Amino acid sequence: MAEYKPIRKVVSGNYAAAYAVKHARVEVVAAYPITPQTSIIEKIAEFLANGEIEGLEYVPVESEHSAMAACIGASATGARAFTATSAQGLALMHEMLHWASGARLPIVMVDVNRAMAPPWSVWDDQTDSLSQRDTGWMQFYAENNQEVYDGVLMAFKIAETVNLPAMVVESAFILSHTYDVVEMIPQELVDEFLPPRKPLYTLTDFDNPIAVGALGGPNDYYEFRYKIQKAMEKAEKVIHEVGKEFGERFGRDYSQMIELYRTEDADFVFMGMGSLMGTVKQAVDILREEGYKVGAAKVRWFRPFPKKELYELAKSVEGIAVLDRNFSFGQEGILFNEAKGALYNTDAKPLIKNYIVGLGGRDFTVNDVRKIAENMKAIIDKGELDVEVDWYHLKR
Amino acid sequence: MEIPENVKKRLSIPADEHFYAGHTACQGCGASLGIRYVLKAYGRKTIFTIPACCSTIIAGPWPYTAFEANLFHTAFETTGAVMSGIEAALKAKGYKVKGEDGVMVVGWAGDGGTADIGLQALSGFLERGHDAVYIMYDNEAYMNTGIQRSGSTPYGAWTTNTPGGKRHFLEKRHKKKVIDIVIAHEIPYAATASIAFPEDFIRKLKKAQKTPGPSFIQLFAPCPTGWRSPTDKSIELARLAVQTAYFPLFEYENGRYKINMPSTKKEPKPIEEFLKLQGRFKYMTKEDIEILQNWVLHEWEKLKKLAEVFG
């Protein structure tokens, strides 16, 4: 194994994704432009134009629906396929997301989290990706540009091991267009980590032709669904292994599906996903100095959902403040809903409160975390919730 | 079946069969004949993309397939996009695509999946210039979902959502001219074909195979179930559609039009000959028939003019 000497580049989250696509030796990219995703596919096109990528076919499709359909065709033919999208584009793809997982194709996609219209918004919000919860896609939420890069490389490895597609999610503008130092991995080491794809099946064995996706009657369909669930369960183990391997090779450990930050002796923790957790970690440091015994729990993988890790965490704390940059209308924040559901049949019963924050790119600061901490402390002291779901930023 | 050497030499249609008996098409199905010919022309080194349509089930439910070629079943509107992805992947992996010894990437979609919901993906596929063949088999309605009108349903036709009743609610629009939309993309090769003229169809499939870039063939494929026609009349109906100039056979090749049949020197047969064998036209009044006849002749004159000027 060659020695790992990282290559440091100052790049946007989108460029980090593009570099990861290049380093992963993706064979087919099919994509359609949508703000704020576009600079990913532009950067990939630039690599091609400059001769920096070889062996990649770039298909500039006429819609996101076709982007996913083309990736599906490419992946079924045995190629490593990638696309990227955002918000309305992801919603347009929705039908084909089911097709990708149903056909067990390890496509990797970057979704730049953006709020759904109307009103038009191009800013950060997790409802687009979380609306794809039940499509059979794995979902990884990146906190920073480094995690976008690392996430894409790991997603391919995990996806190709369990034969399910994976989504790497980054925040609109907060990550997509903000430059930061990213440690990139030399190509030969990426090649060692991520060897060429070995497909479950391909459409190119002409001596033994197959038909994929045919009608499945009531006697068969059910088992197809069960196998997707088994693959999701397997993915938990694979995520752990691949995340650990990544840590051993490159120094950044991703073996935990929930990254815990200063939670060992915490009275209560802030739980959330994506870039807002960077703010939360910073706030935790400050709050610790101010005497709050708090920690952060960053949910990296939303699908498969880290039930076991959540249970272990929930047993050790008195309260969990779930920060949702998303909402399921008629109910509550989506991560909150999932977390409560996961703990219901367990003996872990911390107070769990839902804070709806940052929708449509509303600024979320260290000060906001402090206010939430004050509120959490008060309800824990009292032993009961004031409200279950708090629309934290609402102009009252 | 063994074919004597001297007979084989005279056949222009390959004797090889790659479409298995036991498929689930209805009796007299034009589409299934179309599949058989495509497989004869291209053999097993072919990857099909089939969207939601009759052929989804003609090919057979899981785990069966009647195709001796690779086949990817996909969503209704995605034929053009999925075949684009397949072609791109083959190229990325170093396969030769199209040409006599290359892999044939074939889209096989019905008229609804082409003229309507799949039109955007078809357009994208054509415009990007992929080396693949898109075949629209035209049975003039959404047959697999229970005979609803599509953009390709002709004037005056009964369908289950344009039924004939007291107030005479029938299809009031003429058939969408998908091939004209295709030709507007200025692709190298486009043609119409009919299951009644298999030699012509095979020749066109072969030409599409040899021509680099995207090719398109609109295949006329009668549907006895949806057309309310006797199952033994499918070939006759397909032939009459050509002879009446209702569905003329022509080729568009790099800007040039060539009419194959009917003869441009003779008057086409009256449209009634095509209509009267089918229950779907039974609600048409004399005026309706005249409207359809006039449209057919008008379009025929247009095509003749195109062949004359751009022949």
pLDDT band (50, 70, 90) for residue B5: confident
Interface-testing mutation among A53, A75, A77, with chain B (most B C-beta atoms within 10 A): A77
Residue A369 lies in a domain: yes
Based on the fold, state whether residues A244 and A305 are members of the same structural domain: no
Domain count, chain B: 1
Q: What is the pLDDT of residue A188?
A: 97
Express each pLDDT in A34-62 by its tens digit: 999 999 999 999 999 999 999 999 999 99
Based on the fold, state whether residues A124 and A217 are members of the same structural domain: yes
Q: What is the pLDDT of residue B171?
A: 83
pLDDT band (50, 70, 90) for residue B4: confident
Q: For B81, which of A61, A103, A205 is closest by C-beta distance?
A: A61
Q: What is the pLDDT of residue B165?
A: 78
**Domain membership of residue B284 as a residue range:** 30-310
CA distance A282 to A369: 10
**Of residues B8 and B165, more confidently modeled:** B165
Are B56 and A56 a contacting pair at CB < 8 A? no
pLDDT band (50, 70, 90) for residue B203: very high
**What average pLDDT does this structure show over A331-336?**
98
**A14 vs chain B: nearest CA distance in angstroms?**
23
CA distances in angstroms from B115 to A188, B139, B142, B179, listed in the order given: 48, 12, 11, 9
**B82 vs chain A: nearest CA distance in angstroms?**
4
Residue A396 lies in a domain: no
Q: Is the pLDDT of residue B223 over 90?
A: yes
Express each pLDDT in A67-112 by its tens digit: 999 999 999 999 999 999 999 999 999 999 999 999 999 999 999 9
Domain-terminating residue out of A219, A250, A281: A250
This model of the complex carries an ipTM of 0.97
Q: Which residues contact A97 (CB under 8 A, 6 or more apart)?
A: A68, A132, A135, A136, A137, A165
Report the CATH number at residue B70. Answer: 3.40.50.970
Q: What is the pLDDT of residue B1?
A: 59
Residue A228 lies in a domain: yes
DSSP A99-124: HHHHTT---EEEEEE-PPSSSP--S-
Residue B1 lies in a domain: no
Are B85 and A56 a contacting pair at CB < 8 A? no
Q: Is B148 exposed, middle or buried (0-12, 13-18, 19+ CB in 10 A)?
A: middle
Domain count, chain A: 2
Express each pLDDT in B236-251 by its tens digit: 999 999 999 999 999 9
Which residue type sits at B101?
Answer: D
C-beta separation of A2 from A56 below 8 A = no
Domain-terminating residue out of A209, A226, A250: A250
**B65 vs chain A: nearest CA distance in angstroms?**
6
Q: What is the pLDDT of residue B164?
A: 83
Are A66 and B44 a contacting pair at CB < 8 A? no
| DSSP β-ladder status, B249-253 and B189-194 | antiparallel
pLDDT band (50, 70, 90) for residue B184: very high
pLDDT band (50, 70, 90) for residue A1: low
Based on the fold, state whether residues A293 and A218 are members of the same structural domain: no
**What average pLDDT does this structure show over B100-109?**
97
**What average pLDDT does this structure show over B266-271?**
98
Q: Is the pLDDT of residue B3 over 80?
A: no
Based on the fold, state whether residues A196 and A302 are members of the same structural domain: no
Report the CATH number at residue A163. Answer: 3.40.50.970
CA distance B106 to B255: 23
Residue A2 lies in a domain: no
pLDDT band (50, 70, 90) for residue B10: low
Chain A residues with CB under 8 Å of B132 CB are: none
Q: What is the pLDDT of residue A3?
A: 83
Residue B3 lies in a domain: no
| DSSP β-ladder status, A138-141 and A108-113 | unpaired
**What average pLDDT does this structure show over B174-195?**
98
Residue B13 lies in a domain: no
Q: What is the pLDDT of residue A6?
A: 96
Express each pLDDT in B28-64 by its tens digit: 999 999 999 999 999 999 999 999 999 999 999 999 9
Q: What is the pLDDT of residue B8?
A: 62
Are B56 and A215 a contacting pair at CB < 8 A? yes
Chain A residues with CB under 8 Å of B124 CB are: 61-63, 66
Phi, psi of A140 (to 5 degrees): -115, 130
Q: If you measure CA to CA, which chain B residue comes closest to A62?
A: B124
Q: Is the pLDDT of residue B167 over 80?
A: no
Domain-terminating residue out of A181, A215, A250: A250
CA distances in angstroms from A300 to A167, A239, A273, listed in the order given: 12, 11, 7
Based on the fold, state whether residues A282 and A212 are members of the same structural domain: no
Report the CATH number at residue A368. Answer: 3.40.50.920
Which residue type sits at B172?
Answer: K
**Domain membership of residue A176 as a residue range:** 7-250
Residue A1 lies in a domain: no
Based on the fold, state whether residues A13 and A130 are members of the same structural domain: yes
Say whether B162 sits in a helix, a strand or coil.
Answer: strand
Residue B81 lies in a domain: yes
Q: What is the pLDDT of residue B12?
A: 82
Residue B9 lies in a domain: no
Q: What is the pLDDT of residue B9?
A: 64
**A312 vs chain B: nearest CA distance in angstroms?**
42
**What average pLDDT does this structure show over A144-156?**
98
Based on the fold, state whether residues A51 and A181 are members of the same structural domain: yes
Estimate to the nearest angstrom the gap between the alpha carbon of A28 and the chain centroid: 21
CA distance A158 to A239: 6
**What average pLDDT does this structure show over B83-108?**
97
Interface-testing mutation among A66, A92, A135, with chain B (most B C-beta atoms within 10 A): A66
Based on the fold, state whether residues A262 and A335 are members of the same structural domain: yes
Chain B residues with CB under 8 Å of A216 CB are: 61-62
CA proximity to A255, closest of A310, A309, A325: A309
Based on the fold, state whether residues A230 and A284 are members of the same structural domain: no
Based on the fold, state whether residues A242 and A328 are members of the same structural domain: no
| B178: contact with A, CB 8 A cutoff | no
Sole residue written with tokens 């693959």: A231
Based on the fold, state whether residues A315 and A196 are members of the same structural domain: no
| A93: contact with B, CB 8 A cutoff | no
Give residues 330 to 389 of A whose Cβ lies within 8 Å of B.
Answer: none
Q: For A214, which of B59, B88, B121 is closest by C-beta distance?
A: B59
Based on the fold, state whether residues A195 and A292 are members of the same structural domain: no
Residue B140 lies in a domain: yes
